[in-house]
Amino acid sequence: MKKVRLEIVGLSYSQTQSGAYALVLGESTGSRRLPIIIGGFEAQAIAIELEKMTPTRPLTHDLFKAFSETFSIEVTEILIYNLVEGIFYAKLVCTDGTREVEIDARTSDAIALAVRFNCPIYTYEFILKSAGIVLDDETLPTNEGSVSSPMEEISASNPEGEYQSKSTEELKNLLQTALDEEQYELASKIRDEINNRKAS
């Protein structure tokens, strides 16, 4: 079956499911998008790596990567291989240099590992045909095609302006505290306020 390469093009708070997030994958050489609803923990794990934020203690996906690298196991690709009743199925393609093994995984976990191993994400044409959508330019969300700040959407559900009265130095201290306490959504909100000040 023909495989289609995908890229992460968006990550936002789900408007349909409370506490969930919409991960949007797009084909590398086309205009189709594949939206996947994922949990908050997995969304955070993906966004933290894309943002290159460093947690004080390793998250589960970071631990998996460290374990794999310690024993010379590499994840070479992620394959979203099936779609049954709205549920996507994925697997990790791994190698130790001598043999290749496929390991079943939740799609959200697989994507979180893909960004850590910097490996390609693929799906099959029949999945894109059945679940993919084509968005006109006019209907693309403002963060479409940009993965430099996916945490902005995650923190968008929090009230704005809470930190505007604080000095930049106070915000930097709050940011470090949030990272130390592993409050990554809060950290992203504070970081966005600091970045907004730099841009203005």
Q: 131: domain range?
A: 3-147
Residue 51 DSSP label: T
Same domain, 42 and 63: yes
pLDDT tens for 49-64 read: 988 888 888 889 999 9
Q: How confident is the model at residue 40 (pLDDT cuts 50, 70, 90)?
A: confident
Same domain, 143 and 195: no
* Residue 40 DSSP SS3: helix
In a domain, 143, yes or no: yes
User: How far is it, in rounded angstroms, from Cα 159 to Cα 141?
Assistant: 20
Residues 6+ apart with CB under 8 A from 91: 78, 79, 81, 102, 103, 104, 105, 110
In a domain, 182, yes or no: yes
The per-residue pLDDT for 2 is 85
Same domain, 44 and 78: yes
Most confident of 78-82, 84-88, 189-193: 78-82
Same domain, 65 and 46: yes
pTM of the model: 0.70
pLDDT exceeds cutoff 50 at 42: yes
